[in-house]
Each structure stands twice: as C-alpha cells, then as structure tokens.
Amino acid sequence: MSVGFRICSRKQAAPLELVAEFAKLPVANVSDCMGRLAAAGPRLRPMHASGGLAGVALTVKSRPGDNLMLHKAIDLAKPGDVIVVDAGGDLSNALMGELMLAYAVKRGVAGFVLNGAIRDVDAFLKTNLPTFAAGVTHRGPYKDGPGEINVPISLDGMVIEPGDIVLGDSDGVLAVPLDGAEKILRQTLAKQDAEERQMKAIAEGKNDRSWVDAALKERGCEFPDY
C-alpha cells in the first residue's frame, strides 16, 4: 500500500444514537468540556443557510485544489457520515460545487468540513446541507490525486480520526474523539443543565456575582479609587 495515495477501511465509527445526543448541544459547551484545547480554526465558517452539523467522520487528505479523493469519499460514504477534508487550506481552487453537493445529498451524507474552498455558494445555501469551508472561489478543482481516505488528519492542530464525532455550529467545528465521547457527553449535559439554571437566575435577578470580586481579590487586584 502506497502512503500518500491509498484508501483505507474505517475500523470503528461512533454510533448514530450517540451522535444524535451531541447534536442537541452547543459546540462551545462541548469544547469547554474538552479543556478548550480542540478547534478546527476560525477560517472554517458555515456555507449553508442555517442549522448545526453532527455526524461520523469520514476523513480525506488531499492535495490542495484536487478533489479526486473527495469524489471517492462520497462514493464510500454511509448515511450520517461527515466528510472531513484536509486540503491544506488552499483557496485557489474549489474542492466541490453544486453537482457534488447534489450527489452527496442523494448518498445521505450528513455534511462536509473542507479545509479549502467551495463554489456554487447559492446551491449550498438553497440545499442547506451543513457545510463548513475556509473560503469560496469560482475556479474549479483538479482530479489527479494523490490523497488518502480514512487516515488521521489535522485541521489547525485538531486531530480527527476516522469514526470520530464531528460537530459544527455558528461558533465553528469540533471533533470529539470516539474514545471518551460518552464521558464528554455526560460532562456537557451537566454543564448545559448548570447554564440553564444560571440563565433562569439571571432572568429572575438572582444571579450570584460574588465570584468576580473573589477572583480579583485572590489575584491581588487593588481598588484604590473604588
């Protein structure tokens, strides 16, 4: 098998039931429960009209501006998969457009995360398949390879393994490692519950702000004119 031009099988995949539970939660809260260390970078922005992204990672590593392996990934995708492409972040050529989008919808693809560009933006807005990309250009892609499918990839330092859970909303994209996902889910649900109680306290004028002055005092802050 040639490293750099290969198609691997996915050894494991997050259960769709688990993905569905994560889909109910804000990406920011999941991120907080992962130590605020993982992020796919601020360049990746939603290219669809509205709604969040949640699915199982089908990873692609491709040469910048080339979508041969992305085409094959759509052929291989199972319903509920999110196709995540590391194409180096290059915006010179679009990785996909309207035709590939229509085919992906037919295949049951849950969405795309593309560290590269798209084109036919109006089609993405109309179709509203959750898609995050680094930019837009009208220039089309090449189809020569090389590339790899179902290998570990990295987006802005965030490692994504095949089968991980991929989430996205207006705050950005996050990959939840399959190993440990259930624990992260429990922690996020607890955080969500705490935030809902805090929102209720704010609405009722009962929000406890004593922690602010306590934190300032602990860090040695002075209030000479306070």
Let me know: does 66 contact 143? Beta carbons within 8 Å. Answer: yes
Distance CA 16, CA 80 (A): 7
What is the model's pLDDT at position 85?
98
Question: pLDDT tens digit string along 30-56?
Answer: 999 999 999 999 999 999 999 999 999
Annotated binding site: 97-100, 119-120
**Stretch 56-70: mean pLDDT:** 98
What is the model's pLDDT at position 202?
96
Annotated binding site for substrate: 97-100, 119
**Stretch 184-203: mean pLDDT:** 96
Average pLDDT, the chain: 96
Distance CA 75, CA 130 (A): 18
Let me know: does 101 contact 120? Beta carbons within 8 Å. Answer: yes
**This prediction's pTM:** 0.94
Residue position matching structure tokens 């590939």 = 100
What confidence tier does 1 reach under pLDDT thresholds 50, 70, 90? Answer: low
Share of the chain above pLDDT 90, in %: 97
Let me know: does 76 contact 58? Beta carbons within 8 Å. Answer: yes
Structure tokens at 72: 């094959």
What is the model's pLDDT at position 136?
98
Question: pLDDT tens digit string along 139-164?
Answer: 999 999 999 999 999 999 999 999 99
Domains annotated for the chain, with CATH where assigned, are: 6-178 (3.50.30.40), 187-219 (no CATH)
Check pLDDT > 70 for residue 11: yes
Annotated binding site for Mg(2+): 120
Question: pLDDT tens digit string along 105-119?
Answer: 999 999 999 999 999
Phi, psi at residue 5, to the nearest 5°?
-150, 85
